Structure 1
Amino acid sequence: MTAGAPDPRSQARRSALQMLYGWELGRVDLADAIDGYRLLQLEPPDEKRDHLARALVRGTVAALDRLDALIAEAVHNWRIERLSIIDRLILRLAVYELVARPEAPAPVVIDEALDLARAFSTEDAVKFINGVLDAIRQRLESKSDE
């Protein structure tokens, strides 16, 4: 990878978020959301990046109930439905990685989620997402220590 070239895993997370957004907003079948994103994709195909993005999307959607429960525990006095769509999707994607992809270090997952929030949401959302993800990370780590 050349200096300054975007990390393929970062690109995969960004692509996954955009696929999830199309799925959530369009209320279409997940496969249609993935295919629709590929048709509109500006970057040249990269099989490793695209495979990871699809895996993140499928895993996130398959685990929605568990992810939403973890997020709901961490957002005090908020219903998850009240979060903006993009913030909710960033949280779901990151929590999926924290839960299901132990090879991805938690600090990296959280930093990547904050980068997505900076790119697609507000500065207040960045702080909020950081707090929620840190609380979930701590809860998951304390459960694994038991």
Structure 2
Amino acid sequence: MKSWSGSAGICINEQMEILMVKSYESEGWAVPSGGIEEGESPEECCVREVKEETGYDVKVIERLKVKETTIHDIQVKTYYFRVEKIGESSGINDPDEIIAEADWKSVSELITISHAYPEDLGLILEQLKQQEQN
């Protein structure tokens, strides 16, 4: 069975909004993510993908979870990290040219927008709740 590994970054700003991206071929929003390249750690992949898809430099705060699932006979393993943005966005610079939009979404928007990965919503909201308590 083929396998694919990737990383995803959950980034929360001072206004308690989550950094989300939307691709051209989907109406659903998702946290920035992408495939781990040869010789790259999951952490390095996360930082690179967030930068490419949103223009933000980020640093990894903690590893949250690993999601394992099978999609079209491919074993998929995604590492989720809590990341913190450094400075402002330099704009989307996605070499794969699949990201149409990057935006900060509030909790009320998160509940109304469509999600590319609905199963991630619980984890995202949990992170927001933790951030509010800190």
TM-score band, normalised by the shorter chain? 0.3 to 0.5
Q: Point out the structure with max Rg over C-alpha.
A: 1
Give the TM-score normalised by the residue count of structure 1: 0.32
Give the TM-score normalised by the residue count of structure 2: 0.34
Higher helix proportion (structure 1 or 2): 1
Higher strand proportion (structure 1 or 2): 2
Higher relative contact order (CA 8 A, sep 6+): 2
